[in-house]
Structure 1
Amino acid sequence: MENNGTESEDLVWGISAIARVIGRTDRQTYHMLDTGALPAKRVGGRWVASRKKLLSFLVDDAA
């Protein structure tokens, strides 16, 4: 299996970056992350999420 960096390019690191992807404020995003409402994990004290999973989550949530 070959990885051309696409997997790491899909990762969004930090609350501010995740907030930009989902169109929310940092505070709203932190609350959503802290309550488990978003598909993300904490890694070494920072939040990380897959851009694809975030977008899929938002599309499914809106339907």
Structure 2
Amino acid sequence: MESDHLHGWKAIGDHLGIEGDAARHLSKRHGLPAFKIGKRTVAASKASIRAWLAEREAAARAPQPEGGPDA
């Protein structure tokens, strides 16, 4: 059975189809779910990433209130 966890920014980035540095940026600035194992190793679960992406997609599709940031 395949593990649900990804280990390292490169693996997380590969899963998302982006560079590892971009995955790290998304985690630090935009809430991409990732956690440290020990002092240096980072990991993320594929299920948590799928849920995060679904939330981001739903937010992007939600109607913006009148007078919003682009008004």
Give TM-score scaled by structure 2 length.
Answer: 0.66
Alignment partner, residue 14 of structure 2: 20
Runs of 4 or more above 3 Å deviation:
none
Quick one: distance in 1 between partners of 2:46 and 2:56?
15
Alignment partner, residue 50 of structure 1: 45
Q: Which has the higher helix share?
A: 1
CA deviation profile, 1:15-62 (whole Å, cap 9, x unmatched): 011011222211211112234621110112111111111011112211
Larger Rg belongs to: 2
What is the Cα-based RMSD across aligned positions, in Å? 1.9
Percent pairwise identity: 25
* Number of residue pairs the alignment of both structures matches: 57
Q: 2:25 aligns with which of 28, 31, 43?
A: 31
Q: Which structure's relative contact order is higher, taking Cα pairs within 8 Å and 6+ residues apart? A: 1
Unmatched 5+ stretches in structure 1: none
Give TM-score scaled by structure 1 length.
Answer: 0.73
